[in-house]
Amino acid sequence: MAHSLREICKKIGVAYQGEDRSIRGLATLTEAGQEDLSFFHNEKYRKALADTKAAAVLIEEKYADELPEGTIPLLTDEPYLMLARATELFAHELSAEEGIPKIGQGCDIAPSARFGRNVTIGKGTRIMPGTYVGDDTVIGENVLIYPNVTIYHGSRIGDRCILHGGVVIGSDGYGFAHTRAGEHVKIHQLGNVILEEDVEIGANSTIDRGALGPTVIRKGTKIDNLVQIGHNAEIGEGCLIVAQTGIAGSTKLGRNVVMGGQSATAGHLEIGDFATIAARGGVTKSLPGNKVYGGAPAVELRLWKRMQAALMRLAK
């Protein structure tokens, strides 16, 4: 649903009297189109200002001149907070209304499974009792969904995926903006989750929906029980993620990365192809691929072992 730019500014508390435009969504600087509202609040993304195609950008006055001609600066001292308020206007309208899914041939679907509106299910898919599938979700062919799985609206489940009991796909990412008085304002999560083909997700694992774009699990990745994947993470092809691992938001794993049990990452970093993080490893910065890491903060495993040996000698 589109909103006028002036309407948005009035509702979020940004002073604006200039040209009005129709805004259909919110997006990052690099992904925004000519009908999107974007924001800038982090120097890390400053280079993206000059090339953004956004209709308007929530931005501090000192950076406004760096926007391209045709992009409207919406001046505010708190662009991230204003973004949080704007997300409410574009949030999916939840409803308890049930729909009748479009079902392919040869499906086996338990009578107790429940569906939102505009759900599509590919042929040969099996859905066990107690499952809920939200609005506008597309489930591929020959998917196996065990009991009590919850799939939120807008999700995309690829062919031959397996979701074990208690899995939650598309729950809200953990995103809040903070007022100067210390209040926490919810950033409504407007993205979705995409599982590519042949992904398997273990019992009681959770995959958060993206804040503005998708959270993506690439084909062939296998995720163990009790794993948490944060919003806008991207997990590469063929990764192995062992139980109780936590991947923070906007972190990107290359292909065939292995995350040992109870390992974790900080947000907004990258782990290269064929890297391995040993059990309980804590990744605090981006790491090159084709190496084995351990410890917290994670370092190459050989160095970590030497550090532990030196510590033991010191203790003795």
Please write the tens of the pLDDT for every residue from 40-70. 998 888 999 999 999 999 999 999 999 999 9
Cβ–Cβ under 8 Å, residues 171 and 149? no
Q: Residue 262 and residue 246: Cα distance in Å, rounded?
A: 7
What ranges do the domains of the chain cover?
3-90, 102-303
Q: Residue 162 and residue 220: Cα distance in Å, rounded?
A: 11
Tell me the pLDDT band of 316, cut-offs 50, 70 and 90. confident
Positions marked active-site: 231
Neighbouring CB atoms inside 10 A of 209's CB total 25
CATH node for 102-303: 2.160.10.10
Per-residue pLDDT, averaged over 284-294, amounts to: 98
Give the range among 93-97, 108-112, 141-145, 150-154 with minimum mean pLDDT. 93-97
Tell me the pLDDT band of 169, cut-offs 50, 70 and 90. very high
Q: Residue 173 and residue 188: Cα distance in Å, rounded?
A: 9
In this prediction, residue 5 carries a pLDDT of 97
In this prediction, residue 44 carries a pLDDT of 86
> Is 215 a residue whose pLDDT tops 80?
yes
> Is 1 a residue whose pLDDT tops 80?
no
- pLDDT above 70 coverage of the chain, percent: 100
> Is 263 a residue whose pLDDT tops 80?
yes
The mean of the pLDDT values for the chain is 96
Rounded to two decimals, the pTM is 0.94
CATH node for 3-90: 3.40.1390.10
